[in-house]
Homo-oligomer: A and B are copies of this chain.
Amino acid sequence: MNSIEKLLSAYEQKRHICVGLDTDIELIPKHLLEFDDPVYEFNKEIINATINSAGAYKFNLAFYESNGIKGITSLLKSLEFIDGRAFTIGDGKRGDIGNTSSMYAKSMFDYFNFDSTTVNPLMGFDSVNPFLEYSSKITYVLGLTSNSGAQDFEKLILVGGKKLFQKIIEKLTEWNKNKNLGIVFGATQLNELIENFEQIKNTHLLIPGVGSQGGSLEEIAEFFSKNNFNSFLINASRSIIYKDKSISFAAGALEELNNLNLTLDKN
Contact = CB atoms under 8 A, between A and B. Distances in A.
A76 to B, nearest CB: 8
Interface in A131-153: 142, 145-153
B149 A127 contact: yes
Contacts of A22: 99-100
Contacts of A69: 69, 72-73, 76
A6 interface: no
B122 A148 contact: no
A232 interface: no
Contacts of A148: 124-126
Interface string A108-136: 00111000000011111111100000000
A196 interface: no
A100 B60 contact: yes
A62 B156 contact: no
Interface string A151-186: 111101111000010011001000000000000000
Contacts of A151: 124
Interface in A48-104: 60, 62-63, 65-69, 72-73, 76, 93-101, 103-104
A68 B150 contact: no
A243 interface: no
11 contacts: A62-B96, A66-B107, A66-B110, A98-B147, A98-B149, A123-B142, A123-B150, A125-B148, A126-B147, A153-B167, A156-B158
Contacts of A124: 147-154
A14 interface: no
A110 to B, nearest CB: 8
A201 interface: no
B157 A145 contact: no
A62 B107 contact: yes
